[in-house]
Amino acid sequence: MRADGKDRSCRLLAGLSLLLACASPALAQRPDLSGNWMLNGGKTVFGAGDLTDEGRRRFEAYDFKTDDPALKCIGASWTRVWLNPNVLVEIAQAADHVRLRYEWMDLDRRIPLVDPTMADPPRGSIEGHPALGRYAAWYDGPALVIETVDVAPGYVSTMEKWAGLPQSRRMRTIERLTRSGDVLTIEITHVDPANYRKPLVVTITYPRSKFELMEYNCTPEDAAVVAPK
């Protein structure tokens, strides 16, 4: 009887191991991106975007005094969110989702992990931030891939010489997050035929941070104050 029980246990363990190995190869290969990261001294590179006529018209019409969504505590695009320096991003990975908590504007981004071949996967979104669209994620080897669609028209960037680069409702954004030691690299590709003849690629590196997440508590009343009375 004991031999039978032991045999059954062995078969059960072997079966479980096989099940884990076969059912979740992606789980075994998932990169560990968890932890706290901060843009502080990392390098950022904007690739070539090549504006269409409509994209150029919108870019040249941008007025930083009135058009920056941050004046209303609203995120303009995921590139804009990632480009904010000296604020923390906390990443937590779970079996069925990834949670990215951005200190900037207190953005709490819970992203469902999906099968990328699904026609209409479940997606997350953040209320009050229509330009940040709806997103889903999956793992691709060493990368976490986040796809965002259904963005409201607005701006990919409101910063530096890229302030006013536009985005349309047709834009699809792919973020690829990879880690090498204590550096997180975020490669963001914006595909928006209405505004760009070829994809706009932005690469940002985030060092690991010793700091903890803090509340941001942006209020539109204060954020809109940019001039004396």
Bridge-based pairing state of the strands 200-207 and 44-46: antiparallel
Quick one: which of 83, 98, 146, 184 contacts another protein (CB under 8 A)? 83
- Which residue lies nearer to another protein by CB, 181 or 228? 228
**With contacts defined by CB under 8 A, how many residues of the chain interact with another protein?**
45
Site string for another protein, 105-124 (x = CB under 8 A): --------------------
Q: Is 229 in the site for another protein (CB under 8 A)?
A: yes
Are 76 and 131 contacting, i.e. CB atoms less than 8 angstroms apart?
Answer: yes
CA atoms within 13 A on the CB side of 134: 8
Centroid of chain to Cα 207: 16
Q: b/e string for 168-188 if b means 16 or more Cβ within 10 A? A: beebbbbbbbbbeeeebbbbb
The verdict on 168 binding another protein (CB under 8 A) reads no
Write phi, then psi, for 200 (nearest 5 degrees): -95, 120
Q: Looking at 87, 91, 184, 188, which residue binds another protein (CB under 8 A)?
A: 87
Q: How far is the CB of 146 from another protein (least distance, A)?
A: 21
Binding site for another protein (CB under 8 A): 40-41, 43-51, 56, 59-60, 64-65, 68, 70, 83-87, 103-104, 158-163, 200, 211, 214, 216-219, 222-223, 225-229
